[in-house]
Amino acid sequence: MIHPERIRCLNSKQRLDGPVIYWMSRDQRVRHNWALLFAEQLSLDSNQPLIVLFNLVTSYPQAALRHYDFMLKNMMQVEKKLQTLNIPFFVRAGNPESELPSFAAEHKAGAVVADFSPLKTSLVWKKKVFGQLSIPVYEVDAHNIVPCWTASRKLEFSARTIRPKINGRLETFLTVFPELQRQQSDNTTLPYPVNWEKLYEKLHINRAVKPVSWIDPGEDAAQKVLEDFIEHRLNDYAEKRNDPNAHAVSDLSPYLHFGQISAQHIALEIQKSRARKESKDVFLEELVIRRELADNYCYYNEHYDSLSGIHPWAKETLNQHRTDKRDYLYTLDEFERASTHDPLWNAAQKELGKKGKMHGYLRMYWAKKILEWTPDPETAFETAIYLNDTYSLDGRDPNGFTGVAWSIGGVHDRPWFERPVFGKIRYMNYNGCVRKFNVAQYINSQGIFST
Ligand code: FAD
Ligand code: FO1
């Protein structure tokens, strides 16, 4: 059964007879997907066919070939999985505001189900699409364990304030998923096989940021990574997760960003594992509290994607230090080419550029140095978001906007003792990293010899 608080009806239209469309967008998976399960429930209740639509936008902001390749390779698997369940899968390429209404009309749809994202891109799509539809539109939060609008009705100040609100509802929401059934009805217009090559050609994207080979895209690969993490790395997560030299983290963020694996499913598997309790707790704090706090930040703060979204205390302190002398100043191009004076920063940028993933501990250091080496905090924010979203597989995500806002704007953090440029924003430096892990080893591992 799907908890009713996961579902919101976005308009008050009457249901018509006709197929139920699940417009798959943020949660690009067949298993453990509450939006798909709800669409199935609607279709069974009304004895109408269920069909799935993926609307491919040919130039998603900041997305490059690296990201589209990771996404489309999974979509090819989604097509096959839905075929085995006799659930027709269609792909349209273009702007959702024109494709969705024409698709719904063409199939005489009776209802549309959308998954949930707090990001502006998705909100703009929905506003434009749902104003044109004369059938009911439902939105299902298939990404969070506790639905974003249920966890809290307001912008939360920190992990400390949202944690009890989320933990208090896990009993209700951290539940096992029902199985998606094979669709019986054969009165659906079966789609032609998707012409993926043609879709690749339609993309207007930055093709210089190449796909990566260290991680396989797709639901099945994500499940294998999860199992391997639980088997070999979860135990040491608490003590080694901040060491970029130890492969101690899950590497699940690219799959989570594209919805190729369910956070709820991960949490259930982590809970079942026999790994050390301390490591399980620390991991769940990141996966559940930190990640859902990021959706809260983006959902309740329309300026999540710029410095103007940070708290007044942080704005004030950064302004007071706006004219402080910067010891180093770099342009976007110098950052992008990893050519600063700091071999550690350069190594982290190289990892991001080559691998499409930077270790979480270094991301904080990396972003904070951008604040220190740019002319003003606004430029710093824009530079960090641009580099993060252009190169990181898990970029263009609430976690990224929130991670940059934390590093540069002190969001979800507290004031620290005052210093030049940073003011009261938490400071991090090279020696702090040396105390935490073997910096020379990390730098050499990125093929850069420390000076
Ligand atoms: P693990 O340590 O295995 O964590 C497992 C999961 O928990 C992650 O996949 C993520 O969903 C969640 N998680 C872990 N740490 C955080 C965190 N600090 N905030 C929110 N959720 C967290 N994460 C992204 O998904 N996309 C981004 O673009 C991104 N940009 C960041 C930028 C900066 C400047 C900072 C400081 C952090 C950023 N993060 C981002 C958060 C965090 O660094 C990554 O989620 C993490 O490194 C992903 O790797 P992993 O899955 O192997 O991590
Ligand atoms: N969502 C879509 O519905 N269609 C797309 O073509 C699409 C492309 C895309 C490219 C990169 C990326 O990081 C995300 C992309 N998304 C797309 C959106 C994504 O699935 C989520 O909906 C958003 O990231 C919101 O969280």
CATH number of residue 59's parent domain: 3.40.50.620
Q: Is 405 in the pocket of ligand 1 (CB under 6 A)?
A: no
Instruction: Please report, for residues 5, 96, 135, 440, the alpha-carbon distance to residue 13 in angstroms, rounded to integers and kept in the order given.
Output: 19, 20, 5, 62
For residues 339-360, average pLDDT:
97
SS3 assignment for the chain:
CCCHHHEEECCCCCCCCCCEEEEECCCCCCCCCHHHHHHHHHHHHCCCCEEEEEEECCCCCCCEHHHHHHHHHHHHHHHHHHHHCCCCEEEEECCHHHHHHHHHHHCCCCEEEEECCCCHHHHHHHHHHHCCCCCCEEEECCCCCCCHHHHCCCCCCCHHHHHHHHHCCHHHHCCCCCCCCCCCCCCCCCCCCCCHHHHHHHCCCECCCCCCCCCCCCHHHHHHHHHHHHHHCHHHHHHHCCCCCCCCCCCCHHHHHCCCCCHHHHHHHHHHCCCCHHHHHHHHHHHHHHHHHHHHHHHCCCCCCCHHHCCHHHHHHHHHCCCCCCCCCCCHHHHHCCCCCCHHHHHHHHHHHHHCCCCHHHHHHHHHHHHHCCCCHHHHHHHHHHHHHHHCCCCCCHHHHHHHHHHHHCCCCCCCCCECCCECCCCCCHHHHHHHCCHHHHHHHCCCCCC
pLDDT for the residue numbered 186: 66
Both tokens of 206, joined, read 């930055």
For residues 48-55, average pLDDT:
97
pLDDT for the residue numbered 324: 98
The best mutation among 139, 194, 207, 396 to test binding of ligand 2, ranked by most ligand atoms within 8 Å of the C-beta, falls on: 396
Confidence of residue 14 (pLDDT cuts 50, 70, 90): confident
pLDDT for the residue numbered 192: 84
pLDDT for the residue numbered 189: 66
Dihedral, 55, 123, 68, 93 alpha carbons, nearest 10: 20
Strand partners, 92: 55
Nearest atom in ligand 2 to 389's CA:
13
342 and 438, same domain (yes or no): yes
Instruction: State in Å: Cα 291 to ligand 1 middle.
Output: 8
286 and 315, same domain (yes or no): no
Nearest atom in ligand 1 to 257's CA:
25
Strand partners, 114: 23, 139
**Would the pLDDT of 448 be above 70?**
no
Give the distance, in angstroms, between the CA of residue 353 and the centroid of all CA atoms in the same chain: 18
Instruction: State in Å: Cα 420 to ligand 1 middle.
Output: 28
Q: Is 298 in the pocket of ligand 2 (CB under 6 A)?
A: no
Instruction: Please report, for residues 146, 172, 217, 295, 314, the alpha-carbon distance to residue 116 in angstroms, rounded to integers and kept in the order given.
Output: 12, 19, 22, 10, 30
Domain contains 168: no
Confidence of residue 451 (pLDDT cuts 50, 70, 90): very low
283 and 362, same domain (yes or no): no
Q: Is 53 in the pocket of ligand 2 (CB under 6 A)?
A: no
pLDDT for the residue numbered 426: 98
**Would the pLDDT of 173 be above 50?**
yes
Higher per-residue confidence, 242 vs 448: 242
2 and 104, same domain (yes or no): yes
Instruction: State in Å: Cα 61 to ligand 2 middle.
Output: 9
pLDDT for the residue numbered 188: 60
Amino acid residing at 412:
H
Domain contains 178: no
pLDDT for the residue numbered 208: 97
Domain contains 157: no
Instruction: State in Å: Cα 93 to ligand 2 middle.
Output: 13
Residues spanned by the domain of 44: 1-143
Q: Is 352 in the pocket of ligand 2 (CB under 6 A)?
A: no
Residue identifier of the C-alpha nearest atom 21 of ligand 2: 26
Instruction: State in Å: Cα 134 to ligand 2 middle.
Output: 25
pLDDT for the residue numbered 187: 59
Residue identifier of the C-alpha nearest atom 2 of ligand 2: 25
**Domain count of the chain?**
3
Task: Express as a percent the part of the chain with pLDDT over 90.
Answer: 94
Task: Express as a percent the part of the chain with pLDDT over 70.
Answer: 98
pLDDT for the residue numbered 396: 98
- Per-residue pLDDT tens for 76-118? 999 999 999 999 999 999 999 999 999 999 999 999 999 999 9
Pairing of strands 7-9, 137-140: antiparallel
Which ligand approaches the C-alpha of residue 370 most closely? 1
Domain contains 81: yes
Q: Are the beta carbons of 424 and 317 closer than 8 angstroms?
A: yes
Q: Is 29 in the pocket of ligand 2 (CB under 6 A)?
A: no
Instruction: Please report, for residues 74, 100, 177, 206, 227, the alpha-carbon distance to residue 385 in angstroms, rounded to integers and kept in the order given.
Output: 25, 30, 35, 16, 31
286 and 317, same domain (yes or no): no
138 and 2, same domain (yes or no): yes
Domain contains 284: yes
For residues 41-65, average pLDDT:
95
Model's pTM, two decimal places?
A: 0.98
270 and 381, same domain (yes or no): no
Domain contains 354: yes
* Final residue of a structural domain among 270, 300, 330: 300
Amino acid residing at 434:
V
Nearest atom in ligand 2 to 257's CA:
24
pLDDT mean across residues, the chain: 96
Q: Is 57 in the pocket of ligand 2 (CB under 6 A)?
A: yes
Domain contains 190: no
Output the domain CATH number for residue 313: 1.10.579.10
264 and 394, same domain (yes or no): no
For residues 159-174, average pLDDT:
98
Residue with tokens 């797709």: 218
* Final residue of a structural domain among 143, 163, 198: 143
Domain contains 194: no
Q: Is 52 in the pocket of ligand 2 (CB under 6 A)?
A: no
Which ligand approaches the C-alpha of residue 409 most closely? 1
19 and 122, same domain (yes or no): yes
319 and 437, same domain (yes or no): yes
Residue with tokens 């967008």: 25
pLDDT for the residue numbered 360: 97
- Per-residue pLDDT tens for 177-225? 999 999 987 656 678 899 999 999 999 999 999 999 999 999 999 999 9
pLDDT for the residue numbered 255: 99
252 and 335, same domain (yes or no): no
13 and 132, same domain (yes or no): yes
Confidence of residue 449 (pLDDT cuts 50, 70, 90): low
Output the domain CATH number for residue 265: 1.25.40.80
Q: Is 344 in the pocket of ligand 2 (CB under 6 A)?
A: no
* Final residue of a structural domain among 300, 326, 354: 300
Q: Is 63 in the pocket of ligand 2 (CB under 6 A)?
A: yes
Q: Is 31 in the pocket of ligand 2 (CB under 6 A)?
A: no
